[in-house]
Homo-oligomer: A and B are copies of this chain.
């Protein structure tokens, strides 16, 4: 177990290193934080912290930098979440209030988050399966071709073409549309499969094929994981990453383009509350020197998707967490209003 002072030393090291980006030595520490002890004592503490694996030195005769384990302890035990100031809150709200549709909300959120944290922002579109159905529309585009349009309470719109096995009359179409909506409107998408399973039975034999086809298209749309979309912004902030660019930045950019990786990452994060993943805790290789702060957001009590920030492990965790939490909260409000 680490003594109270050693924890303070670790906290000081993290704070200084985050600020200066340079290994921090015992003397500098005692000067910048009044720990009430001499450098020599701090050196002993540092040696102990290093033994425990919380800090490391890049080379002999250099200061110490925190390890992933050190950051983990810092985040879990030593740091709080820094709340946004009043002006910041108002700025967030103003910035988001002007959005005209869902795309715009997501785009603005990404920009905002990137600006606030000066890091790479990632925002997931509201998931279909966790949303509720606002409306299902069926359009006849050609005698045997329908378009299925899904609209969620979060404003997301999804469309799919349906090729019918047989021509489908206008009256059957209206009938199906009405029945579909009366069953699923206002319900959660995850309940939809159960709610529509006996629907084909209500139709004439000749229409049943088409009805089944429509329903299976509907269900497919909900299941398809590749419909989990996300938007990324602030990649220019990657250039503030470190001094040894090419090697550091490239794998990160590649990982960001692989949306699958990010979606997996967000998916693994806890469903409620904020999640921080640090360095090697992230399975994906290219992101081993980054940390990801993410949190769910939603219009009601429950999260419909996640958003977060990708930055260097050496990041201002309290500030980043504060910004992420605040933005998530306001986005949730905006979605609830629309």
Query: Which among B101, B159, B249 is the interface contact of A239 at CB below 8 angstroms?
Result: B249
Chain B residues, CB < 8 A from A249: 239, 245, 249
Chain B residues, CB < 8 A from A245: 239, 245-246, 249
Query: Which among B100, B135, B159, B238 is the interface contact of A157 at CB below 8 angstroms?
Result: B159
Given A137-B137, A141-B135, A159-B157: A239 and B234 within 8 A (CB)?
Answer: no
Q: Contacting chain B: which of A3-11, A30-38, A208-216, A250-258?
A: A250-258
The reply to whether the CB of A147 lies closer than 8 angstroms to some CB of chain B is: yes
A101 touches B159 (CB 8 A): yes
The reply to whether the CB of A139 lies closer than 8 angstroms to some CB of chain B is: yes
How does the 8 Å CB contact mask read for A229-240 relative to B, with 1 for contact and 0 for none?
100011110110
Chain B residues, CB < 8 A from A100: 160
Is chain A's interface secondary structure helix, strand, loop, or mixed overall? Answer: mixed
A257 touches B235 (CB 8 A): yes
Q: How far is the CA of A149 from the CA of B147 in the complex (A)?
A: 12
Counting every copy of the chain, the complex holds 2
Cβ of A162 to closest chain B Cβ, rounded Å: 12
Cβ of A140 to closest chain B Cβ, rounded Å: 9
Cβ of A197 to closest chain B Cβ, rounded Å: 24
B236 touches A257 (CB 8 A): yes
Q: How far is the CA of A139 from the CA of B177 in the complex (A)?
A: 12
A160 touches B257 (CB 8 A): no
The reply to whether the CB of A277 lies closer than 8 angstroms to some CB of chain B is: no
Cβ of A187 to closest chain B Cβ, rounded Å: 15
The reply to whether the CB of A260 lies closer than 8 angstroms to some CB of chain B is: no
Cβ of A148 to closest chain B Cβ, rounded Å: 11
A250 touches B239 (CB 8 A): yes
Chain A 287-335 residues near chain B, CB threshold 8 A:
none
The reply to whether the CB of A64 lies closer than 8 angstroms to some CB of chain B is: no
B246 touches A160 (CB 8 A): no
Chain B residues, CB < 8 A from A101: 159-161
B250 touches A246 (CB 8 A): no
Cβ of A116 to closest chain B Cβ, rounded Å: 15
Q: List 16 A-B residue pairs with CB atoms under 8 Å apart, sorted by A's residue number.
A: A101-B159, A101-B160, A134-B141, A137-B149, A149-B149, A157-B157, A233-B257, A235-B235, A235-B253, A236-B250, A236-B253, A236-B257, A238-B253, A245-B245, A245-B246, A245-B249
